[in-house]
Structure 1
């Protein structure tokens, strides 16, 4: 690109002397402009420097009389770069539109000096800096200016008021501050002024009545204060007026009633007080009236019934009293009505169901009486339009009308927190388009009708805090979109239907405080999206499901069910935990085999036969020894066949034959077969080595059942605790199960050799996926990277819930399974050391350089879970950038955290994303994720968030919302 620009600079004198200057400036100017751009979609490929004129180029339009460029429209072309000076050569340009691209840099002050320019639209880019005062200094014939949705800051220049020809000014959605220029009301030609979504403040000066042509003014979402200008009624042609979300106060100016052409008046979110004046009914052209979230009081004016053009009325969030005026039945075009969060009383008027409304919200008032209405007894066409009906948090009584199913288009129905009685009508199943149904916190009785299965589009069903009885109908399994099922605090009985397991979109289930009985269906483990499942305080029995969400369920979610068993409730189920194979060649049982099958594993104690003989009474123990010996004959004989001798790297010899050799060890598998397919001699084969880390060397081997496992030979033997303590700590680690943690499946012990047996993943480590340069390597997509970050966060959060600190987070200790899910490995190994000494740890985890929190270097700072959070933050940056935590250059050392933090301070965060993604990532996710990584990797431990918070933030980033602003 620079070469092209350079060649043009060299050609300038040649072109100037050899070509017709009529064509020279336009071609040269546009090619210079293109030279400063990035055009990833090759939209400007038709722009050719050899053309005599640019009139046939894409986005270019010429005046047919002169063949000079008159219009340049490149909207939504995915262009980036700076808006270069080349455009200044287009002396006859009248329309310049570069909106919806990614142009950066500041505004060129000379653009406004193009004497022929009438329209300039640079909206929806990434322009920054202030609007130059000289931009409007010589604005000539300029009619339309739009800089909306950029990153502009500073004040609105006073020179704006010199552009007397301006008809449209849109500088919305920037970061402009200060007050309005004093001369802004002198723009007599102005028809539309949009300054919304900025940081502007102060009072609005008088003089707006001078703008005779003004049709629309939008000051929404700023910090303007004081009263609305009294002379605003002088703008007789005003059609749209939006002063919402500011700090205006006082009464509405009386001159507003003069705005007979005004179709939209929006004053939401201010501090207006007193009554709404009766003259509001004189604004007969109003189609939208929004006075919500203010401090208006008194009764709703009867004159509102005069607004027959009204389509949307929002008076919510005020202090209106009295009843809904009957005159509103004259608002025949009304579609949306919101009176929620006021102090309204009286009955629900009949006209609400006659007007053909789309949305009715009356929640949070004091309405009383019955919903029953003679008008609701038969099907009418007006029912078919209603989409939202919210009557929640009132004092309504009586029964739910049986004709509720007539509302065939209803999407949202909320009658919660009233005093409704009777049963749920069967016609509820006729609500074929309803997404949310909330009848909670009433006095409803009877059973949940089986017809509920007809409401197949339901996503949220809330019936809690009623007096419902009977079974949960199995037909609820037909509501396949259901994500939230809340039936708590009722009197429901019977089993939990297995059909619930078919609702694969379920995220939240609350069936607590009922009288449910029977077993929990095992199929519930198939609910892969579950976030909460509460069945506490029922009469459920049997074992808790094992797998999926239920491996991490909290005890409080299943408490109050005395007959439930499982590790979560600390009640063992004999059929739940398989007994481990314990191979104890030091046994003096007299058997020729080397194994001992221990039936007392569930008490967390494994005793050798010699220990039993020493402790017990002779006859009783003798019988026990005989029983144990008989049970283990098969195990011992098979292992004796497996190998007669095991030679381990490091010189350790042990035999599977009876021996009193102290080097012979104990092999324990928490489940499955303890035999190895290739024989024990292949356990630590050098050819099977997978990798080396701070705690040991890892090998791969195969079990008799064909399943591969990874075996870690610990290299911290001089620091490992005693056998008893070692076994106790390893068994604790072996019980930890989570979707994003590597499972510990067994261990081997001798005084000089310790092995840990883990599940094996053939896809390798995160480090391999990020940094290996092999020809078969695939670059991780953004979605894969985000899912890896979220999975790591969930795994680490689970460890912290169990009060386990990882201490050794790094990309080589994150394995990737076949579906791309991350699995944290090597967690909790520091528990095997005699003390948590930071110098011991740091010396044993040298390979974690760059991931270790700074407090490791300070004896006076406590080592906590916040160390893991620091390492996680570095991992986040490593995944997003594709760079190692510390990279050694020829003459420099680059620390990843410092590099990214510097880029953020310079406003270049987006440039940190791995270049191999080539822009194929959503910036609205990537930038908050990078900021979150920096927060986690803060130098100060107290500034780092808890991992539970990190998970919540990541889930919010994945579903963008205003909560992202907390990361700013």
Structure 2
């Protein structure tokens, strides 16, 4: 999973949070929960889609050009079922851990989603909230709110949920290859070749493009390598919607909210002012693309003082072909088209523009990345190329095992977890 941390109350109007006001009065308990999409029922959560029945179908107007929007037809698991699914949350079935809690691997029947024996049916990832985590309920609500409504090949599929005994659980499709973060930075991980990195970038761009172009644009707010998960064929899907927000409406350019996210990926205008733009996500995309080119983390306090912040250190080198070649990930072993790397660097520079209005839209980025993907390596140039020896700093970076726990201005740090 991506890193799961708490959300906090934001300065945003009710009309910006829901497409329609509820058709009935909320109970006092629901008002305390502060989320219109979930109502308590005998200690469990019941999902409904604002003023429509839970089993209602989306109208034609709700369907965007790609992907689809569905009403929350999620399975409501019992706590006992999820205990059976995960062998009672045994430590050996744990996939990772984040601020929300721990994630366990389990097995369910492909059709009924009922618990099955390990190795039978389909694998799932069960995210279980930490009872002591104050942000658990709010993040759980946000995940159901967004992944229960949106469906797209490049968003992780949410299968169901459980709200029982003050525990909040989510059940997702299992992503065999884990996170992009692990493949880029984990010690001993097999290096990702250029074409796979580009495929992952394109898939992630498709996911963000879908969110930004939905009827009510969704700002993902926490785009980073640990939130990009990979299936067995390295298809990339966005995960962890705990910080997602609906975008501005009524002609406004931004929403104002308490600063949350991950320092190093969060856009500078958001950190400075709390103003969150759709193109704040574009900045995060540029940071991740830079990580994919260099093989270096966005932030690493173990690097020399001038190199701790990857953006500050590497962006000047994107302007020059020779400098760019020096900062490219040595694990690529020069096996990439230089022209493609130059064009990717150009995308990164535009994504990282200090003024959000000058950053490209995600659909334009996606179009450009697909053009970059069409560039083939010249065999003659490849045979004549001189392989540069990786410098010690980059070698050390690739073998740096300790994850970041760097926090700043209310932002949240990265941790090695799945989903």
TM-score of the pair, normalised by structure 2: 0.61
Q: Secondary structure at the match of 2:150?
A: coil
Tell me if 1:882 matches 2:307.
Answer: no
In the TM superposition, residue 806 of structure 1 has moved relative to its aligned partner by 1.1
Structure 2 equivalent of residue 85 of structure 1: none
In the TM superposition, residue 685 of structure 1 has moved relative to its aligned partner by 3.5
Structure 2 equivalent of residue 928 of structure 1: 343
**Aligned counterpart for 2:368 among listed residues 948, 953, 958:** 953
Aligned mates of 1:801, 1:695 — CA distance in 2 = 28
In the TM superposition, residue 727 of structure 1 has moved relative to its aligned partner by 6.1
In the TM superposition, residue 905 of structure 1 has moved relative to its aligned partner by 3.8
| Structure showing greater Rg | 1
Q: Secondary structure at the match of 2:151?
A: coil
**Aligned counterpart for 2:328 among listed residues 909, 913, 919:** 913
CA contact (8 A) 1:874 1:897 kept: yes
Tell me if 1:689 matches 2:145.
Answer: no
Aligned mates of 2:222, 2:142 — CA distance in 1 = 21
Aligned mates of 2:167, 2:99 — CA distance in 1 = 16
Tell me if 1:701 matches 2:106.
Answer: yes
C-alpha change, 1:931 and 1:900, in structure 2 (3 Å) is farther
Aligned mates of 1:887, 1:797 — CA distance in 2 = 29
CA contact (8 A) 2:205 2:362 kept: yes
Structure 2 equivalent of residue 586 of structure 1: 42
C-alpha change, 1:681 and 1:909, in structure 2 (3 Å) is closer
Q: Secondary structure at the match of 2:300?
A: strand
| Mapping for residues 313-462 of structure 1, pairs under 5 Å | none
Tell me if 1:858 matches 2:272.
Answer: yes
Aligned mates of 2:192, 2:184 — CA distance in 1 = 7
In the TM superposition, residue 586 of structure 1 has moved relative to its aligned partner by 2.9
**Aligned counterpart for 2:233 among listed residues 819, 827, 836:** 819
**Aligned counterpart for 1:804 among listed residues 214, 218, 230:** 218
Aligned mates of 1:932, 1:910 — CA distance in 2 = 16
**Aligned counterpart for 1:712 among listed residues 127, 135, 139:** 127
In the TM superposition, residue 921 of structure 1 has moved relative to its aligned partner by 0.5
In the TM superposition, residue 676 of structure 1 has moved relative to its aligned partner by 3.9
Aligned mates of 1:751, 1:869 — CA distance in 2 = 39
| Mapping for residues 100-499 of structure 1, pairs under 5 Å | none
Deviations 1:596-628 (A, max 9, x none): 999x53238xxxxxxxxxxxxxxxxxxxxxxxx
In the TM superposition, residue 812 of structure 1 has moved relative to its aligned partner by 1.1
Deviations 1:753-812 (A, max 9, x none): 3222211112111111111122xx321111111111111111111111121111111111
Aligned mates of 1:737, 1:951 — CA distance in 2 = 19
CA contact (8 A) 2:102 2:127 kept: yes
Structure 1 equivalent of residue 183 of structure 2: 769
Q: Secondary structure at the match of 1:897?
A: helix
CA contact (8 A) 1:688 1:701 kept: yes
Structure 2 equivalent of residue 753 of structure 1: 167
CA contact (8 A) 2:142 2:243 kept: no
CA contact (8 A) 1:805 1:828 kept: no
Deviations 1:909-949 (A, max 9, x none): 22222111221100111110122112112222112111011
Deviations 1:874-925 (A, max 9, x none): 0001111111111233652432212222213454222222111221100111
Bigger relative contact order, structure 1 or 2 (CA pairs below 8 A, ≥6 apart)? 2
CA contact (8 A) 2:344 2:369 kept: yes
CA contact (8 A) 1:717 1:753 kept: no
Structure 2 equivalent of residue 320 of structure 1: none
Aligned mates of 1:854, 1:597 — CA distance in 2 = 36
Tell me if 1:792 matches 2:204.
Answer: yes
Deviations 1:339-365 (A, max 9, x none): xxxxxxxxxxxxxxxxxxxxxxxxxxx
CA contact (8 A) 2:86 2:106 kept: no
CA contact (8 A) 2:146 2:241 kept: no
C-alpha change, 1:694 and 1:672, in structure 2 (3 Å) is closer
Aligned mates of 1:679, 1:822 — CA distance in 2 = 29
Aligned mates of 2:202, 2:303 — CA distance in 1 = 35
CA contact (8 A) 1:717 1:752 kept: no
C-alpha change, 1:952 and 1:904, in structure 2 (3 Å) is same
Aligned mates of 1:925, 1:681 — CA distance in 2 = 44
C-alpha change, 1:877 and 1:808, in structure 2 (3 Å) is same
| Mapping for residues 494-573 of structure 1, pairs under 5 Å | none
Aligned mates of 1:728, 1:808 — CA distance in 2 = 13
C-alpha change, 1:714 and 1:938, in structure 2 (3 Å) is farther
Deviations 1:576-597 (A, max 9, x none): xxxxxx9x9839xxxxxx9999
Q: Secondary structure at the match of 2:178?
A: coil
CA contact (8 A) 1:677 1:702 kept: no
Tell me if 1:744 matches 2:129.
Answer: no
Structure 2 equivalent of residue 898 of structure 1: 312
Q: For structure 1, which runs of at least 5 residues remain unmatched after alignment?
A: 1-581, 588-593, 605-667, 962-968
Deviations 1:813-835 (A, max 9, x none): 11111111111111354459xxx
In the TM superposition, residue 695 of structure 1 has moved relative to its aligned partner by 4.2
Structure 2 equivalent of residue 390 of structure 1: none
Q: Pick the structure with more helix per residue.
A: 2
CA contact (8 A) 1:741 1:825 kept: yes
Deviations 1:438-468 (A, max 9, x none): xxxxxxxxxxxxxxxxxxxxxxxxxxxxxxx
In the TM superposition, residue 852 of structure 1 has moved relative to its aligned partner by 1.1
Tell me if 1:670 matches 2:74.
Answer: yes
In the TM superposition, residue 717 of structure 1 has moved relative to its aligned partner by 5.8
Aligned mates of 2:328, 2:99 — CA distance in 1 = 29
C-alpha change, 1:597 and 1:712, in structure 2 (3 Å) is closer
Deviations 1:2-24 (A, max 9, x none): xxxxxxxxxxxxxxxxxxxxxxx
Aligned mates of 2:76, 2:180 — CA distance in 1 = 28
Deviations 1:650-684 (A, max 9, x none): xxxxxxxxxxxxxxxxxx97259877486268454
CA contact (8 A) 1:678 1:702 kept: no
CA contact (8 A) 2:86 2:104 kept: no
CA contact (8 A) 2:129 2:136 kept: no
Aligned mates of 2:86, 2:339 — CA distance in 1 = 54
Q: Secondary structure at the match of 1:697?
A: strand
Aligned mates of 1:804, 1:942 — CA distance in 2 = 17
Aligned mates of 2:137, 2:77 — CA distance in 1 = 27
Q: Secondary structure at the match of 2:191?
A: coil
